[in-house]
Amino acid sequence: MFQDAFDTIKSLDSGLTKWIEILESVVEKRFSVDGNSDLADWLEILDMLKHTGQKEPVVEHGKLILGDRNTSFDEQKKIEAFLLKLTPWRKGPFDFHGVFVDTEWRSDFKWDRIVNHIRPLKDKTILDIGCGNGYHCFRMADSGAKLALGIDPYIKNVVQFLAMKSVVCNSSAFVLPLSFDDLPLDVTPFDSIFSMGLLYHRKSPIEHLQNIRKLLKDDGELILETLVAEGDENTVLVPEDRYAMMRNVWFIPSPPALKRWVERVGFKNVTVVDITPTTFEEQRKTPFMQFDSLSEFLDPSDNSKTVEGYPAPVRAVIIAKK
């Protein structure tokens, strides 16, 4: 299932060969029917979605066009039914054989906010931590990355990626069923590391930043996107319990505090390049994600606050050099 990813990584001669040899057994164990009772059903769906024809992916107004858009209407309805069995679709959007997969997040909005601030990805080796179904990995590959490697511990996200990748040829995008904590930290193989929408889920955000730095080449670049709160260098919001109905939100720093954290672990040229409130246009329910979303996370009488009374979600992007 992941042999093409392993072969590509090993061919790069970037210090990753030993790294992958360690992780192959972890991937095999993680992506196992024995360890996940739903995986057999998802793999059947994946098999049904595979088509013989493969094409280069195309980006159209932020939407990834994958497969044959001229697929018959009857076939598209079958494909749509299979894709709906893999809900929730969080990141996107995609067009898969003419079926519009309208995901919860308009992930292209985030990409557009960062792409003009990062250094060119052409011929670079990239890691995307907590990549979901790999939407941004495809965008990185489309930008010319030699390797756009995503990791995500949620198996359904990986299956979604494999479905999309099954109709793509010549892509350097790969997703492995791994968490960041699975990665050995004794090599520095990456030119750029993306950590987007993850830092606030970490109980030890400083350690997370330190470990990212260990995996970057000496001239490597960090692209960090996370929730932020209003305040000065000493302001950090620590939710009493949930934040926007999420249990696992631990620390939400102000942009100046976040910048200080990144500098404190040794990064240089640390710059806050974007601060954007999350809108209903960017995050919402769709037919492919029918669970609670932003509209349910906010106070219905005051959308400037979460249902718990905290400030509504605002996200910042930081770029830094090792």
pLDDT in tens, 250-279: 999 999 999 999 999 999 999 999 999 999
CB 197 within 8 A of CB 225: yes
Give the closest residue to 14 by CA, choosing from 145, 137, 177. Answer: 145
Q: 134: pLDDT confidence band, cut at 50, 70 and 90?
A: very high
Give the number of other CB atoms < 10 A from CB of residue 155.
Answer: 17
Find where tokens 């044959």 sit: 68
For residues 72 and 81, what is the distance between their CA atoms, to the nearest angstrom?
A: 14
For residues 61 and 93, what is the distance between their CA atoms, to the nearest angstrom?
A: 10
Supply the pLDDT for residue 146.
95
Supply the pLDDT for residue 138.
97
Supply the pLDDT for residue 125.
95
For residues 15 and 223, what is the distance between their CA atoms, to the nearest angstrom?
A: 22
CB 60 within 8 A of CB 95: yes
3-state helix, strand, coil in the chain (%, to 5): 35, 25, 40
Per cent of the chain over pLDDT 70 is 98
Q: Name which of 33-37, 57-61, 274-278 the model is least confident about.
A: 33-37
Average pLDDT over all residues of the chain? 94
CB 298 within 8 A of CB 250: no
Q: Where are the domains of the chain?
A: 3-321
For residues 3 and 1, what is the distance between their CA atoms, to the nearest angstrom?
A: 6
Q: What is the pTM of this model?
A: 0.96
What is the CATH code for 3-321? 3.40.50.150
Over 80: is that where the pLDDT of 51 sits? no
Q: 9: pLDDT confidence band, cut at 50, 70 and 90?
A: confident
Over 80: is that where the pLDDT of 46 sits? yes
Supply the pLDDT for residue 35.
76
Supply the pLDDT for residue 15.
74
For residues 37 and 42, what is the distance between their CA atoms, to the nearest angstrom?
A: 10
Q: 22: pLDDT confidence band, cut at 50, 70 and 90?
A: confident
Over 70: is that where the pLDDT of 52 sits? no
Q: What token pair was written down for 296?
A: 């349910």
In sequence order, the 6+-apart residues with CB closer than 8 A to the CB of 246 are none
Supply the pLDDT for residue 201.
97
pLDDT for 81-114, tens place per residue?
Answer: 999 999 999 999 999 999 999 999 999 999 999 9
Q: Name which of 45-49, 62-66, 81-85, 138-142 the model is least confident about.
A: 45-49
Give the closest residue to 106 by CA, choosing from 135, 72, 137. Answer: 135
Higher-pLDDT residue of 57, 150:
150
